[in-house]
Structure 1
Amino acid sequence: MADLDQSSEDVSVDSREGNNQNSKMEFTEDEETLIARMYNLLGDRWSLIAGRIPGRTAEEIEKYWTSRYSNSES
């Protein structure tokens, strides 16, 4: 039981998880660069791109991409 108490103190929380509504579309510069590079290689295979970015879902990445580059479909 003592081990359980110690391990709960060591748990860290990613700052993105605490405030999902406001930070969902906030991507770091490194994430943006990686998304662009992966998109150029893989196209819109969002789940494969998300697999390279810890803590991101395919849906988040697709929403980011379409909101950022939506006029490319016009």
Structure 2
Amino acid sequence: MDEQRRTKQPKTNPIVASSSSEEVSSLESEAVNMNQEEEDLVCRMHKLVGDRWELIAGRIPGRTAEEIERFWVMIK
């Protein structure tokens, strides 16, 4: 019984680890161009509501939550 305990290794899920790093790299790879008004609004809204990208995007016509998040990741 003691021998079995020593040989057991903790199980890891390599799929989870690789998918999370892929998300970060894909977010950072696409640049989002915004005008100064949009940038200011994103910064002010983020101070108020945090990472609620859909809420922020709702205040900027034509922008998606994904674009806003990508922009925020790029400027940090």
TM-score, structure 1 normalization = 0.60
Ranges in structure 2 where 5+ consecutive residues have no aligned partner: 1-30
Are positions 1:66 and 2:57 aligned together?
no
Code of the residue aligned with 1:66 in structure 2: it is V
Residue pairs, 1:1-74, within 5 angstroms: 25-69=32-76
Code of the residue aligned with 2:45 in structure 1: it is M
Runs of 4+ in 1 over 3 A off after TM superposition: none
* SS of 2:56 mapped into structure 1: helix
Q: Which residue of the partner structure matches residue 22 of structure 2? A: none
User: In the TM superposition, what is the alpha-carbon distance from 1:67 to its structure 2 partner?
Assistant: 1.0
TM-score, structure 2 normalization = 0.59
Aligned residues: 46
CA RMSD of aligned residues (A): 0.9
* SS of 2:41 mapped into structure 1: helix
Instruction: Supply the distance in 1 between the matched residues of 2:70 and 2:32 (Cα, whole angstroms).
Output: 8
* Larger relative contact order (CA 8 Å, sep ≥ 6): 2
Write out per-residue CA displacement over residues 2-49 of structure 1, whole angstroms, 9 at most, x where no aligned residue.
xxxxxxxxxxxxxxxxxxxxxx61100000000000000000000000
